[in-house]
Structure 1
Amino acid sequence: MSAILFLLVVLFWAAVASALAFKLVKRIPASIGLRAALWLVLTPMLLLAPMADEIAGARQFEALCRPENAYQVHFKVDHPRDLRQVRKGHGTVAGRWIPIGVEQTDYLDRKTGAVAASVKAYRTEGGWFSRKILQGWGPWFGRGECAPRPDQVRQLLTLAGTV
């Protein structure tokens, strides 16, 4: 059912983009061949315009979800009891096409209080289209959250030699 709805929305927007491009090109005083060429270029641009931030933002979000950005291990501790989990709170990642929130969790060494490891969880509601039109359905392209599960964090810290 959702695939049919998606297809209908895409077809509707393609018709709107094509009609809008035709109206814009019709006003240009040029030959019919040049107008047709402009229409063929302008229609796909108008079709993708509302999704431009979604497409670019999804790529930026996936780049943040890579392991090298999601966690950092600073030094080893002797035993898991030597670690204390501390949530640092929520923030926003600056310089992105779409709003991306981040929550950082630090694992502190109980003896020294130094940060042994940091894990970041990212979330997004998507770009303009997802936030304004879909309202809560999540991002149009890609996923809306990426965070290691607690068992993945323990495994990650164990493999890295921290736990």
Structure 2
Amino acid sequence: MIGLMFLAGIVVWLVVAFRLSRRIPLWLNMTRFVKTTQFLLFPVLVVLPVADEIIGRWQFKRLCERENVVHLSDDWHKVRRARSIDSSSPEKLNWYSVRIHKQEIRYQDIDTGEIFFSFNVYHNYGGLLMDRMGLRLSGAPPSCWPDGALEMYKKINLDQLVREGERK
């Protein structure tokens, strides 16, 4: 049923885009290049509702490639007890065409008070259709974790360090 509604929405939007592409040049009182403008306007109008998704996915991918790294201090092997430092609420990043939040994950050495392991996780909530109109069917937004974060968890035995920190 959802698939039929989705297809119906696409057909309706194609009809609307076709009619708008024919009428917009007339509303603007264009006298020259009317047919060319109508021809070029149609694909622009068809893509317009998902343009922020397309641009936003590209921006999100570049952000993940550029910013998503694991920071591990040189003296991590000296840590005996650790605790997770909860960041307040995820920070909304501006200047992106879609809503993206940054969540800081940090672990502190209880004995020294130093942050020895940290990284950022980015959450992409999507653009107009996926986020604002609720068309995301998967539930949770796509997230970007650093490559190797899980391997670092295992390498430094973080679960055991946190358990030791909770015990004492």
106-115 or 15-24, which deviates more: 106-115
Structure 1 ranges of 4+ moved more than 6 A: none
Q: What amino acid sits opposite 2:51 in the alignment?
A: A
Partner in structure 1 of residue 164 of structure 2: none
In the alignment, is the contact (CA less than 8 A) between 1:57 and 1:97 conserved in 2?
yes
Aligned length: 155
Q: TM-score, normalised by structure 1?
A: 0.74
Q: Does 1:156 align with 2:155?
A: no
1:122-152 C-alpha deviation (Å, 9 max, x unpaired)? 223211222333366469xxx8231549xx7
Structure-1 residue corresponding to 2:103: 103
Task: State the SS of the aligned residue for 2:104.
Answer: strand
TM-score, normalising length from structure 2? 0.72
Q: 1:138 to 1:54 in 2, by over 3 A?
A: farther
Indicate the RMSD between aligned Cα atoms, in angstroms: 3.2
Q: For residue 84 of structure 1, give the secondary structure of its aligned residue in structure 2.
A: strand
Q: Distance in 2 between matches of 1:154 and 1:51?
A: 33
Alpha-carbon shift at residue 158 of structure 1 (Å): 4.7
The match for 2:141 is: 144
2:102–2:122 CA contact under 8 A, matched in 1: yes
Q: Over residues 6-65 of structure 1, what are the superposed CA-to-partner deviations in whole Å (9 max), with x where a residue is unaligned?
A: 33322221110110110112344436xx32211110011111122221211122222333
5+ residue gaps, structure 1: none
* Percent pairwise identity: 21
Pairing 1:81-100 to 2, within 5 Å after superposition: 81-90=80-89, 91-100=91-100
Alpha-carbon distance between aligned partners in 2 of 1:147 and 1:29, rounded to the nearest angstrom:
47
Q: Hey, what does 2:60 align to over in structure 1?
A: 61
